[in-house]
Structure 1
Amino acid sequence: MVDAELNTIFCGDCLDILKDLPQNSVDLVVTSPPYFQQREYGGTGIGNEKTVEEYIENLMRVFRECVRITKKTGSIVFNLGDKYIDGNLLLVPYRFAIEVQKEKQVKLINELTWVKINPSPKQDPKKLVSSKEPFFIYTKSSDYYFNKDAFLEYKDKYLNGSKKAAGNDIGKKYFELIEKSNLSPADKVQAGKELLEVIREAKEGKIESFRMKIRGMHALPYGGQAGGRLTQIENKGFTIIKIHGNSMRKDIIESTVETIKGNVHPAVYPEFVVQELIKLLTKENDIVLDPFLGSGTTAVVAKRLKRNYIGIEIHPEYIEYAKQRLAEMPSYTLELFI
């Protein structure tokens, strides 16, 4: 891989650009292609086909190139949405997955299910609310990189058999961040009081762990989060998230559906899910590629996690917005926590 290609967004048809990239050069492909007839992405490209069969075949052309450029130790992750036609659910993601299986180029090691905390309420009143999407994780060999401990590590990183560690490790970290923050003196005092209380709960075993978000110190999903957390950060300058449950690494991940200011791009897949996949499947300085970059989520997360990124996007207006997001990233950001 030529260094000039790293941390770059290419404008054009992804199939044409992928063909120019060398084989076995990328550590991770993670992407969410345009959904079939779900939204108007403009033009006649992928997502605007007349039939689902044509849509799947176009996706497969891109997928084959993704397989070619991915290293033997790398992974390929595709997130796909479904579609109703005449009241019938087409099972689009699974049609794609079956076509991939037929070609026997890769192994499907996991289907990670993204559960949407805030699914769209604008759905058919005579159907249950659709609230999940699959992320298919493929590998080219059995020698793929897989850092299981990094996936959702906030759930037990500091509490693996020791409740006291929550106070000693997480508490110290957050007290330091409170002092570094631009919170008012009064807000810093209040943040310290609430932090001491949640540390006590962790030590007593009432909660497994916790996370604290402080205004200006932690990155937020672009467009904010659902519920009262964003309001708390705006009003108080911080919010504390209590974590319950066990530390098993399951194939289900919960996250909000994110919005984007001005509706520049019709769909934004969740930064938090992308973050956890990049941590699971790559190391620092690895190369992460997204052939359908859209508004730039993959590039933003890769940069935050100190990975190199390559983005491909056919719409110049989306590229400009992605570049804006990258340029506006604060110099001091931490990982997202849901």
Structure 2
Amino acid sequence: MKTQHKLIFGNSMSMIEILDESIHLIITSPPYFNAPFDYKGLFENYDQYLGMIRRMAKEAFRVLQEGRIFALNIDDMLVNGEKYPITADAIKIFQNVGFRYRDKIVWKKPDGYLRISKRSGVLLQNPYPMYFYPDNLLESIVIFQKGKFNYRSIPKEVREKSKIDKKEFQNNNWHKTIWEITNVLPGSKLEKGVAAFPDELPYRLIKLFSYVGETVLDPFLGSGTTMKVANQLNRNSIGIEIIRDLETIIRQKVNSNNLEIVERDKGKYRFVTLDYIEKRKNVVN
């Protein structure tokens, strides 16, 4: 099946290229707030970070069709000893712009995820009370819905083409609120320097919340994982990404002759701060 894919280089606080209610599913993972290993000092403060989420959520609500799903991969963040309740704050933001909080799935990464295991090592060096910091192997996939879905709006032929494999659903425990999925490991060639989620995450979400031939949007496309999987599952896709240098990687992952590139005026569209692009380039390189 021939599908269409559009890559927009700009910031997702504005989605001017996308028509109202033209998107059937949104899947994304925004930047972590000032994560010490990826985004240190990227945002001036936490309010600025939440402001970015809020503006993106408003645009997402506009472009998403009635009854459809926004799946947000996000998690709380420990920065300089302070834990920020990002998941809870994001849920409130999405509710305030009109979304309904439908569900939360916990994504569990494998035990021994070395990138973050240093936290528990504090107690090993200081085996006394008050030195305990647990390793975080979990992230949240928060499911929001815009209004109510009309199940009768989907033609029978499309429903059958999009049918979910019941064995895959049961054998891989899609029915649980905990999904055990191996993360993209450090050193992965195409995801080097990018905090990408694994293919399996959008694969499940696209299967569960969209039909063949529909359009999936990722407002923080990164290396292009959502677009890649959408193409494989016979869905159209749109991705928005701020880093122009990621085009080559995205093209490799999507591997589609039907990839349209749109680049906005760099001077007009800034993400958060004037030096954002330079900081993100340093992360990627």
| CA distance in 1: counterparts of 2:166 and 2:104, whole angstroms | 16
Larger relative contact order, structure 1 or 2 (CA cutoff 8 Å, min sep 6): 2
Shift of 1:152: 7.5
| CA distance in 2: counterparts of 1:319 and 1:73, whole angstroms | 32
- Quick check: 259-268 or 59-68, which moved more? 259-268
Distance 1:307-1:262 versus aligned 2 partners, 3 A rule: closer
CA deviations 1:217-247 (Å, max 9, x no partner) are xxxxxxxxxxxxxxxxxxxxxxxxxx7xxx6
Distance 1:309-1:138 versus aligned 2 partners, 3 A rule: same
| CA distance in 1: counterparts of 2:165 and 2:84, whole angstroms | 31
Alignment of 1:114 with 2:107, yes or no, is yes
1:253 pairs with one of 179, 186, 189: 179
Distance 1:248-1:96 versus aligned 2 partners, 3 A rule: closer
CA deviations 1:152-202 (Å, max 9, x no partner) are 75154xxxxxxxxxxxxxxxxxxxxxxxxxxxxxxxxxxxxxxxxxxxxxx
Unaligned ranges ≥5, structure 2: 122-131, 258-285
Q: How many residues align?
A: 231
Distance 1:132-1:151 versus aligned 2 partners, 3 A rule: farther
1:127 pairs with one of 127, 130, 133: 133
| CA distance in 2: counterparts of 1:267 and 1:153, whole angstroms | 31
DSSP-derived class of the 2:118 partner:
coil
Residue of structure 2 equivalent to 1:10: 8
| CA distance in 2: counterparts of 1:248 and 1:294, whole angstroms | 25
| CA distance in 1: counterparts of 2:174 and 2:26, whole angstroms | 25
Matched ranges for 1:78-157 at <5 A: 78-101=72-95, 103=96, 105-118=98-111, 119=113, 120-124=115-119, 125=121, 126-143=132-149, 150=164, 153-156=167-170
Alignment of 1:65 with 2:59, yes or no, is yes
Alignment of 1:33 with 2:39, yes or no, is no
Alignment of 1:287 with 2:281, yes or no, is no
Distance 1:248-1:279 versus aligned 2 partners, 3 A rule: closer
Distance 1:67-1:37 versus aligned 2 partners, 3 A rule: same
Distance 1:49-1:6 versus aligned 2 partners, 3 A rule: same
Residue of structure 2 equivalent to 1:309: 237
Matched ranges for 1:218-233 at <5 A: none
Distance 1:64-1:122 versus aligned 2 partners, 3 A rule: same
Distance 1:263-1:272 versus aligned 2 partners, 3 A rule: closer
| CA distance in 2: counterparts of 1:121 and 1:69, whole angstroms | 36
| CA distance in 2: counterparts of 1:59 and 1:281, whole angstroms | 22
Shift of 1:6: 3.7
Identity of aligned pairs, percent?
25
Query: CA RMSD, aligned part only?
Result: 2.9
| CA distance in 1: counterparts of 2:184 and 2:256, whole angstroms | 18
Q: TM-score, length-normalised on structure 2?
A: 0.73
| CA distance in 2: counterparts of 1:20 and 1:87, whole angstroms | 40
DSSP-derived class of the 1:29 partner:
strand
Q: TM-score, length-normalised on structure 1?
A: 0.62
Shift of 1:268: 1.0
DSSP-derived class of the 1:96 partner:
helix
**Contact 2:61 2:97 survives alignment (8 Å):** no
Shift of 1:328: 8.7
**Contact 2:28 2:218 survives alignment (8 Å):** yes
Distance 1:59-1:135 versus aligned 2 partners, 3 A rule: same
DSSP-derived class of the 2:211 partner:
coil
Residue of structure 1 equivalent to 2:262: none
| CA distance in 2: counterparts of 1:79 and 1:58, whole angstroms | 15
DSSP-derived class of the 1:130 partner:
coil
Shift of 1:99: 2.4
